[in-house]
Amino acid sequence: MTIHVIGILGANNPDGLTAQMLTTVLKGAEEQGCTVQRIYLDVTTLSCW
């Protein structure tokens, strides 16, 4: 069974400290065999369905 991990970045600086921490966490998840996805809220259009 594959575990999926979603990292959501709400900060508006994609190179900032929060983004670096998210990258580190997701890299660790990938190393453990998880599938990861990053979502950047500052460039993502959200809609209700």
Reduced 3-state DSSP string for the chain:
CCCEEEEEECCCCCCCHHHHHHHHHHHHHHHCCCEEEEEEHHHCCCCCC
pLDDT of residue 16: 94
Q: Do the domain assignments include residue 30?
A: yes
Residue 32 falls inside a structural domain: yes
Tell me the backbone φ, ψ of residue 24, rounded to 5 degrees.
-65, -45
Say how far apart CA 12 and CA 20 lie, in whole Å: 13
pTM of the model: 0.80
Q: Is 48 part of a structural domain of the chain?
A: no
Mean pLDDT by 10 residues, the chain (49 residues): 94 91 97 95 77
Name the residue range of residue 10's domain: 4-43
In a domain, 16, yes or no: yes
- As for how many domains the chain has, the answer is 1
pLDDT score of 43: 78
